[in-house]
Structure 1
Amino acid sequence: MSKLPPVSAKLPVLMHGADYNPDQWLHDPDVLKEDIRLMKLAGCNVMAVGIFSWAALEPAEGVFEFGWLDGVLDTFAENGIYAWLATPSGARPAWMSEKYPEVLRVEANRVRNLHGIRHNHCYSSPVYREKTAVINGLLAERYAQHPAVVGWHISNEYLGECHCGYCQAEFREWLQAKYVTLEALNFSWWTSFWAHTFTDWSQIESPAPHGEYAVHGHNLDWRRFVTDQTIAFCRHEIEAVRSANPALPVTTNMHMIESLDYRKLARELDVISWDAYPTWHEAKDDSGIASSFAFYHDLYRSMKRQPFLLMESVPSATNWQAVSKLKRPGMHRLSSLQAVAHGSDSVQYFQWRKSRGASEKFHGAVVDHAGHEHTRVFEDVAALGRTLAAVSEITGTPTPAETAILFDWDNRWAVKDAGGPRNTGIHYEETVMAHHRAFWELGVPTDIVGSEDDWAGYRLIVAPMLYLCREETGRKLEQFVEGGGTLVTTYWSGIVDERDLVHLGGWPGPLRKTLGIWAEEIDGLYDGDRNGIELAAGNPLGIEGRFGSHELCELIHAETAEVLGVYTDDFYAGRPALTVNRLGRGRAYHMATRLKGDFLLAFYARVAEEAGVPRTLPADLPSGVTAQVRTDCESEYVFLMNFSGEAQQVELDARGYVDLESGEQVEGSASLPIYGVRILKRRA
């Protein structure tokens, strides 16, 4: 995998910086002057500027004030600091809400919001679209060629939905374009249930808590529509800035995976960025939090299979999490370099300087209310700045993953809306992350892909709870296995199609031939219930003994599949619980029950070896330690990271390692203190 061009030729190194809000300090020019000195002292080379600055840029309708932003960007250019220049649509000024109340969102209860908070606006509103096009166009005209600007930061953390009249009309048009006829829509949504049949397009509205919310196809299409409408608005914003300088890359910072299909949004962007806020130190061993955020890093990197940007993180503690825990010494460096290890070409923070008032005045920042550099947090940031500068040859290097986990947003939405078998918690994300964690513990680089992605180059694909499985996805997975790939699936897979209609003829629907099984029933277990599997003696995996399972147990029949393990308890004891089916040149495994981490680690160690998937290091890693790699074909950069809460030693092979930061040769083993991280370089 060859090295890729940097995100910006102006700044061909690892980016280090923060969200910067000079408009909060325009009353005190000394603060702005001091900020430049402190940015340079902290090794910060880029800032995200103007994210919520609309009121400062347009204090009254049609009255624009750019002088303060001119001064900020010119001062940046004079001091070798760069900017991601934001469009300010994340929060509009009060005069707009007052004069044009249609820009305010209507909630699912059909009540229009008052002015306030963020993203409280309608993406369908003609007025809001017109106003964003004007302000974005003026920003582009004035700054697109500015030497300090490296790219466009489009809005901020798009999220939410509107149910106003404009959105209802747009939703109906979206449905008419998709289904053409009401007959097709009624069949796809199965509206004959409970006499929900529509006889006119005008009868269709978005789901509502006091109206229609029990038609699953309706709910699924609404979520798809909200994604498409948000993307249309994002595209509208991009079009307003793109023409002034097509060479400037565009991004928007992603965060909440709940409401939008980010994989679709990613197609509109030049570079992916996201905001990560782990809750460190919930336990002595931070590996659980670390592995879950490794999943997200891998997800966002995989959207374009190129380096991404960590656009927001926190150098100390947030103020909005349940507990605002301080990062222990070493954790800022470790957690930041974890992002770089998984493909980030930046470490950036919310925020540069703590706000003096309002809801996030106690949110962590590089510069505290004390206003100087003599703080533990500032020194942590400055030390990381020195590290990033020392290892910037990593910039642009990809991650060589031959393993992928299948994660689709519409599958996620459908799983959560299914109505059984465990409405107390089916734990879809937790299940996906548990499978990913096994690879994280093994040091196996892993991509997170969608059903429509290109799977060329992968040897192993894991598809946990592929509940919504299109016929095309089933054929694609079948071809993958026939061609020599290894597939792993779990219970509650192949249940419905893209319309959320159940596959008839037996589960797992389009996967039945590939897996060689028939799933008859699925048993939801109470939280206190337990079952387990017993592996057959002499099975091909070479794993023996009993392993616990919980939450869900699928009752399956082996058709062409070989039974590797059976249930240990309940009336279905002795029935298949783990199978493998050989098809063409490949094989497909199926786990019929939710298995725990001990089994997943042993299983994937064997399956990865069988599939020919290499680990970053050949030796087993200590518990809580992971190894990730980036490469430019000539060199490999191995990140050793210790989340165990204890000092650790990692055994190295004989390929020859150099500590990238210090230049020292490392042989035999590498020591890692508590929260320790080392970046070692070896030949590819």
Structure 2
Amino acid sequence: MINAKKPKIWYGGDYNPDQWEMPVWDEDLRLFKLAGIDVATLNVFAWANNQPDEETYDFDWLDEMMDKLHADGVGVCLATSTAAHPAWMARKYPDVLQVDFDGRKRKFGGRHNSCPNSPTYRKYASRMAEKLAERYKNHPALLIWHINNEYGGAGNCYCDNCESAFREWAKARYGTLEELNRAWNTAFWGHTFHDWEDIVLPSGLSEEWISNGRTNTNFQGISLDYMRFHSDSLLECYKLEFEAVKKHTPDVPVTTNLMGAFKKLDYHKWAKHMDVVSWDNYPRFDTPHSYTGMMHDLMRGLKDGQPFMLMEQTPSQQNWQPYNSLKRPGVMRLWSYQAVARGADTILFFQLRRSIGACEKYHGAVIEHVGHEHTRVFRECAQLGEELGKLGESLLDSRVQAKVAILFDWENWWAVEMSSGPSIALQYVDEAHKFYDALYRAGIAADVVGVEADLSRYELVVAPVMYMVKPGVADKLEKYVQAGGTFITTFFSGIVDENDLVKTGGYPGELRKLLGIWAEEIDALLPSQRNRIVVPDGAAGLKPEYECGMLCDLIHTEGAEVKAVYGDDFYAGMPALTVNKSGAGEAWYLATSPEASFLQDWLSQLCASRGIQPILPSVPEGVETTIRSKDGQDYLFVLNHNADSVTVELGGRGGADLLTGRLLEGKAELAGRDLWIVKLNA
């Protein structure tokens, strides 16, 4: 359990006392008490303060703050400070500086500005982590280690150290040049390598170019492996610090803050080396609530449903978006509880006090620039802090139960969007979200998991755009369906292997037998073009036709049953939706990207036919529901994202609201931007 040393939902956030004079510290502690803050994240960007030169370490400020926080009952999430190297290091050891996509050597500046394969950076970063662990291993305020910060948040590195490391990485992966040449298909354009030293990084100087904000490549195999290598390089940096702190504090959990659907790092691989998943949630004013829900569920799914930490969110305003809207009254509280509803056991902010200078001085904080408690934001934060205190440990380590899984794979994401066709409009995360949103609107819980997950617990598994089929995955899916599972995949699936090499013999490759189809061609529609999905009369829960577009696979059946066909163009009448029976289960293929109402209607009736019921029978638009369970007790979350009140039918469920003590059953009125946490009757 994350919160073993402080058994409640932790409440607090990033605190930077090193930016302030001592009198401010004491005032902040007073305000922390008023707001109910009981955890502070310290030392995130303090490397330059802690180590003013190569030989000197100075932790006096941190000693004092650790002691002060502990005396006030505030625990510490202690960061290792390694997300930005000191200026002296860049001057003295230029190998720590990155080289950008176009081959230019960076100077000191920014953050996440270190080459992950710099021997200097790795040496001093792991040494800093160990110095901190030695010093604070017995400090009673220490709750958890926070390694670095938002890894990968700057550009990739293309320096000589990285190029040399990439060659060694490739040797370890492929063993021989013959196998590497096969995997990268280097016979194309005469790229065959005869010496490891001939291999260079894919960049603006070699294989890649940027057009319309998208990175393009001549050799997807090379670029795909560079993405893997870059993720692995940063992971190696993380592991060095992980091992350094674990050496002295083996029982203190370790995390680093992830960033939801962050493309550059394979979080499924990273999560294996994290005691606890934590992440930073920064939706825009207009981000769909279902998208935020999917990100929470994705983070929860990284460690098999284990509760996660919400490491950062803003109390109100962000500062890096084109239009930085305030969170309206009640929204911060509501979105905080959305995180709890989907598995968070902490609510932490960036930041606790606003900076007065540099690029985040207008980013929201619990303590605004005015410096006192008489602000709307502070009052809302204090209300939430009081509520979380009253909740105690009732929800801690409870789990979300789901019978539906959406497969999400980072390497597949990279490969889909590196593809030189068929359509620039194809965005992997968007296609996954379309399915998630349909389930969300139906009130059906879904886990978002990787291809290595145990699928046997799910009645329905959805794999949108499963372009890349990794070794063993097709067999795993066949066994899942044979045992009674229902599998759905879509257009542009089963095309390539893990090296982005096409599986010859007809699309969808290794999935062809399972799906009972083969795809002859793939039509890419312009944004202005549409086709139709035509559904035969009498199909339960579906309308006679729906719009579709973007991509249309032209498929033939090989045992699958046709459930819908195209309505237009030269392939009118060809299958658009099929199902193939296999053993006790079935596998569906959706050959095109449909309008949202199709997925809502189809998935609702498909779930109902398999006994997968919504959490509540019917809820108004804009109302979100989920359940967390613990020791046989269910807790129903009902969140109203609407500005106005709604009537919610609890459908035979009832119990006491943990936040107000109010007994709820039958129909009840839920205020705008408010929520219930109902401890359901047995």
Q: TM-score scaled by structure 2?
A: 0.96
* Alignment partner of 1:147 out of 134, 137, 140: 140
* Alignment partner of 1:50 out of 43, 46, 51: 43
- Which residue number corresponds to residue 188 of structure 2? 193
**Following superposition of structure 1 onto structure 2, how do residues 145-544 of structure 1 map, counting pairs within 5 Å?**
145-159=138-152, 160-213=155-208, 214-255=218-259, 257-280=262-285, 282=286, 289-304=288-303, 305-392=305-392, 393-423=394-424, 425-539=425-539, 541-544=540-543
The one-letter code matched in structure 1 to 2:222 is H
Q: Shift in Å at residue 645 of structure 1?
A: 4.1
Q: Give a deviation string over 1:557-588, Cα, whole Å, max 9, x none.
A: 12211111111111111111111111100111
Secondary structure of the 1:394 match is coil
Secondary structure of the 1:652 match is strand
Q: Shift in Å at residue 514 of structure 1?
A: 1.2
Secondary structure of the 1:360 match is coil
Secondary structure of the 1:388 match is helix
For 1:403 and 1:19, the matched residues in 2 are separated by 35
* Alignment partner of 1:75 out of 68, 82, 101: 68
Q: Is the 8 A contact 1:442 1:626 kept in 2?
A: no
The one-letter code matched in structure 2 to 1:142 is R
Q: Is the 8 A contact 2:98 2:157 kept in 1?
A: yes
The one-letter code matched in structure 1 to 2:656 is V
For 1:205 and 1:106, the matched residues in 2 are separated by 14
Q: Give a deviation string over 1:499-528, Cα, whole Å, max 9, x none.
A: 100011111111111111111111111111
Secondary structure of the 2:363 match is coil
For 2:256 and 2:667, the matched residues in 1 are separated by 41
- Which residue number corresponds to residue 214 of structure 2? none
Q: State yes or no: 1:96 paired with 2:89.
A: yes
Cα separation, partners in 2 of 1:57 and 1:642, compared to 1, 3 Å: same
Q: Is the 8 A contact 1:626 1:642 kept in 2?
A: yes
- Which residue number corresponds to residue 660 of structure 2? 662
The one-letter code matched in structure 2 to 1:234 is Y
- Which residue number corresponds to residue 621 of structure 2? 623
Q: Is the 8 A contact 2:352 2:365 kept in 1?
A: yes
The one-letter code matched in structure 2 to 1:502 is V
Q: Is the 8 A contact 1:470 1:510 kept in 2?
A: no
The one-letter code matched in structure 2 to 1:216 is Q
Q: Shift in Å at residue 542 of structure 1?
A: 4.3
Identity %: 45
Q: Give a deviation string over 1:208-230, Cα, whole Å, max 9, x none.
A: 11212311100111111111111
Cα separation, partners in 2 of 1:516 and 1:471, compared to 1, 3 Å: farther
- Which residue number corresponds to residue 652 of structure 1? 650
Cα separation, partners in 2 of 1:603 and 1:644, compared to 1, 3 Å: farther
Q: Is the 8 A contact 1:634 1:683 kept in 2?
A: no
Cα separation, partners in 2 of 1:645 and 1:531, compared to 1, 3 Å: farther
Q: State yes or no: 1:601 paired with 2:606.
A: no
For 1:394 and 1:258, the matched residues in 2 are separated by 31
Runs of 4+ in structure 1 off by over 3 angstroms are none
* Alignment partner of 1:121 out of 89, 114, 119: 114
- Which residue number corresponds to residue 670 of structure 2? 672
The one-letter code matched in structure 1 to 2:232 is D
Q: Shift in Å at residue 330 of structure 1?
A: 1.2
For 1:551 and 1:347, the matched residues in 2 are separated by 39
- Which residue number corresponds to residue 215 of structure 2? none
Q: Is the 8 A contact 2:302 2:449 kept in 1?
A: yes
Q: Shift in Å at residue 615 of structure 1?
A: 2.2
Secondary structure of the 2:550 match is strand
Q: State yes or no: 1:11 paired with 2:16.
A: no
For 2:599 and 2:502, the matched residues in 1 are separated by 29
For 1:358 and 1:542, the matched residues in 2 are separated by 55
Secondary structure of the 1:227 match is helix
RMSD (Å) for aligned C-alpha atoms: 1.3
For 1:77 and 1:266, the matched residues in 2 are separated by 30
For 2:228 and 2:74, the matched residues in 1 are separated by 40
Secondary structure of the 1:80 match is coil
Secondary structure of the 1:506 match is coil
Q: TM-score scaled by structure 1?
A: 0.96
* Alignment partner of 1:59 out of 52, 76, 93: 52
The one-letter code matched in structure 1 to 2:399 is P
For 2:654 and 2:355, the matched residues in 1 are separated by 48
Q: Is the 8 A contact 2:654 2:666 kept in 1?
A: no
Segments of structure 2 that go 5 or more residues without pairing to the other structure are 209-217
Q: Is the 8 A contact 2:541 2:601 kept in 1?
A: no
Q: Give a deviation string over 1:354-399, Cα, whole Å, max 9, x none.
A: 0010111111111000000000001111111122222231111011
For 1:459 and 1:179, the matched residues in 2 are separated by 37
For 1:602 and 1:646, the matched residues in 2 are separated by 27
Secondary structure of the 1:226 match is helix
User: 452-461 vs 221-230, which deviates more?
Assistant: 452-461
- Which residue number corresponds to residue 213 of structure 2? none
For 1:558 and 1:648, the matched residues in 2 are separated by 47
Secondary structure of the 1:206 match is coil
The one-letter code matched in structure 1 to 2:636 is V
- Which residue number corresponds to residue 285 of structure 1? none
- Which residue number corresponds to residue 87 of structure 1? 80
For 1:407 and 1:75, the matched residues in 2 are separated by 44
For 1:65 and 1:216, the matched residues in 2 are separated by 47
* Alignment partner of 2:98 out of 105, 117, 125: 105
Q: Is the 8 A contact 1:659 1:681 kept in 2?
A: yes
Q: Shift in Å at residue 543 of structure 1?
A: 2.2
The one-letter code matched in structure 2 to 1:293 is T
Q: Shift in Å at residue 643 of structure 1?
A: 2.2
The one-letter code matched in structure 1 to 2:298 is L
- Which residue number corresponds to residue 569 of structure 2? 570
Secondary structure of the 1:56 match is helix
Q: Give a deviation string over 1:139-170, Cα, whole Å, max 9, x none.
A: 10111211001010000000042221211111
Secondary structure of the 2:405 match is strand
Q: Shift in Å at residue 677 of structure 1?
A: 1.6
Q: Is the 8 A contact 2:103 2:205 kept in 1?
A: no
Q: Shift in Å at residue 636 of structure 1?
A: 0.8
Secondary structure of the 2:651 match is coil
The one-letter code matched in structure 2 to 1:642 is N
Q: Shift in Å at residue 347 of structure 1?
A: 1.0
For 2:541 and 2:639, the matched residues in 1 are separated by 30
For 2:184 and 2:681, the matched residues in 1 are separated by 56
User: 299-308 vs 6-15, which deviates more?
Assistant: 6-15
Secondary structure of the 1:278 match is coil
For 1:95 and 1:296, the matched residues in 2 are separated by 38
The one-letter code matched in structure 1 to 2:550 is E
Q: Give a deviation string over 1:423-462, Cα, whole Å, max 9, x none.
A: 2x21221110010011111222211111122223111100
Q: Shift in Å at residue 492 of structure 1?
A: 0.4
For 2:651 and 2:505, the matched residues in 1 are separated by 52
Secondary structure of the 2:593 match is strand
